[in-house]
Structure 1
Amino acid sequence: MTARELHPAELPEAIDRALDGTSILILPSDRDGAVTEVAPSVWTGHGSAPALILFTSGSTGKAKAVALSSDALTASARATERFLSGPGDWHLCLPVNHIAGFQVELRARLAGRAPVRAPSARFTAQSFATEVTDLIDRAGDRPTYTSIVPTQLHRILEDERATEAAGRISHILLGGAAISPSLLDRAEAARLAIVRTYGMSETAGGCVYDGVPFDEVDVTITEAGTIDLAGPVVADGYVEIRADGTITPVDSPDLTVDEAGRRTMHTSDLGRIDSGVLSVLGRADDIIVSGGTNVSPHALETGLLPSWQKAGIAEMLVTWVPDEEWGKLIVALVRTTDGCGVGAENPRESAQRLNALDHGMTGQLLPQLVFPVAEIPNRSIGKPDRRAAARIAADLMACDANTHTGEQPVI
Structure 2
Amino acid sequence: MRLRALLAERLVSRGLGETRDTRPQASRLPVLVPVGPQEDPVEAEADMRRRLHAVPAGTDLVLRTSGSSTGTGRLVAVSARSLLASARATHARLGAAGRWLLALPAHHVAGLQVLVRSVLAGTAPLVVDTSTGFRVPALADTLHRALRGRDPVYLSLVPTQLVRALQDEEATRALRQVDALLLGGAAASTALLSRARAAGIPVVTTYGASETAGGCVYDGLPLDGVEVALDAEDRVLLRGPVLASGYVGAEPGGGACDVGQDTRYHDVSLAGGTGQGIARQEGGTPLWRPGSRLPVTLRPGFHLLPTALPGELPAKGGTGTVRVLATPDRGRLEEGRLVVLGRADGLINTGGVKVDPGDVEDALTGIEGVAEACVVGVPDQEWGTVVAAAVVLQPGAALDGAAVRRCARELLEGSHAPKCVEVLDSLPLRGPGKVDRRAVQLLLSRS
TM-score bracket for this pair, using the shorter chain length: 0.7 to 0.9
Q: Distance in 1 between matches of 2:224 and 2:65?
A: 24
What is the SS of the residue equivalent to 1:164? helix
Equivalent-residue separation in structure 2 for 1:118 and 1:370 (angstroms): 34
Residue 429 (structure 2) aligned to one of 367, 378, 386: 378
Instruction: Tell me, in whole angstroms, the C-alpha distance in 1 between the residues paired with 2:189 and 2:38.
Output: 29
Indicate which of 390, 399, 420 corresponds to 1:333.
390
- Cα 1:340–1:118 shift into 2, 3 Å: closer
Which residue pairs with 1:187 in the alignment? 196
Alignment deviations for residues 298-357 of structure 1 (CA, whole Å, 9 cap, x no partner): 111123321x1x1x21111112322110111211111123454544xxx5x435422244
Query: 1:149 aligns to what?
Result: 158
> For residues 119 and 195 of structure 1, do their structure 2 counterparts lie closer, same or farther at Cα, with a shift above 3 Å needed?
same
Q: Deviations over 1:215-235 (max 9, x none)?
A: 121101111111001111011
1:285 partner SS: coil
**Match for 1:318 among 375, 384, 404?**
375
Distance 2:445 2:394 in 1: 23
C-alpha distance in 2, partners of 1:296/1:43?
37
SS at match of 1:302: helix
Choose which of 244, 265, 276 in structure 1 pairs with 2:325: 265
1:27 pairs with 29, 33, 36, which one?
Answer: 33
Matched residues in 2 for 1:195 and 1:382: separation? Answer: 18
Deviation at 1:65, TM superposition (A): 0.9
Matched, 1:210 2:219: yes
Distance 2:80 2:53 in 1: 15
Distance 1:206 1:197 in 2: 5
Paired residue type of 1:316 = A
SS of 1:77's equivalent in the other structure is helix
For these two proteins, the number of residue pairs brought into alignment is: 368
Rounded to whole Å, the distance in 2 between the matches of 1:195 and 1:280 is 15
What residue is the counterpart of 1:403 in the other structure? none
Counterpart amino acid of 2:342?
G
Match of 1:133 in 2: 144
How far off its partner does 1:87 sit? 0.9
CA contact (8 A) 1:341 1:350 kept: no
Q: Does 1:17 align with 2:9?
A: yes
Identify which of 85, 90, 98 aligns with 1:80.
90
SS of corresponding position for 1:367: coil
- Indicate how the Cα distance of structure 1 residues 352 and 303 shifts in structure 2: closer, same or farther if over 3 A, else same: closer
What is the DSSP-based 3-state SS (H/G/I as helix, E as strand, rest coil) of the residue aligned with 1:262?
Answer: strand
Q: Which runs of 5+ in 1 are unaligned?
A: 1-8, 398-411
Is 1:355 the counterpart of 2:408 in the alignment?
yes
Counterpart secondary structure, 1:67: strand
Map of 1:275 onto structure 2: 335
- SS across alignment from 2:435: coil
Q: For 1:353, give the aligned amino acid.
A: R
Normalised to the residue count of structure 2, the TM-score between the two structures is 0.77
What is the match of residue 122 of structure 2? 112
* Secondary structure at the counterpart of residue 430 of structure 2: coil
SS class of match (1:286): coil
Look up the equivalent residue of 1:83 and give its one-letter code.
R
State yes or no: 1:124 paired with 2:135: yes
Instruction: List gaps (5 residues or longer) in structure 2.
Output: 15-27, 261-300, 307-318
TM alignment of 1:233-244, pairs within 5 A: 233-240=242-249
Aligned twin of 2:302: 255
Q: Which is further off, 261-270 or 74-83? A: 261-270
1:304 is the counterpart of 2:364: yes
Name the counterpart of 1:404.
none
- SS of corresponding position for 1:240: coil
- Structure 1: distance between partners of 2:126 and 2:384: 49
**1:93 corresponding residue in structure 2:** 103
* Deviation at residue 61 of structure 1 after TM alignment: 4.3
Provide closer, same or farther for how the CA distance between residues 273 and 24 of structure 1 changes in structure 2, counting only shifts above 3 A.
Answer: farther
CA contact (8 A) 1:257 1:264 kept: yes
Question: 1:288 corresponds to which residue?
Answer: 348
Task: Report the secondary structure of 1:78's partner residue.
Answer: helix
Q: For residues 363 and 222 of structure 1, do their structure 2 counterparts lie closer, same or farther at Cα, with a shift above 3 Å needed? A: farther
Paired with 2:250 and 2:327, the residues of 1 have a C-alpha distance of 23
**Higher RCO by CA contacts (8 Å cutoff, separation 6 or greater):** 2
> Which one is further off, 62-71 or 77-86?
62-71
CA RMSD of aligned residues (A): 2.6
Q: CA deviation at 1:32?
A: 2.4
Structure 1 residue 249: deviation in Å?
6.1
SS of equivalent to 1:318: strand
Q: What TM-score comes out, normalization by structure 1 length?
A: 0.83
- Could you say if the C-alpha distance between residues 388 and 128 of structure 1 is closer, same or farther in structure 2, counting changes exceeding 3 Å? same
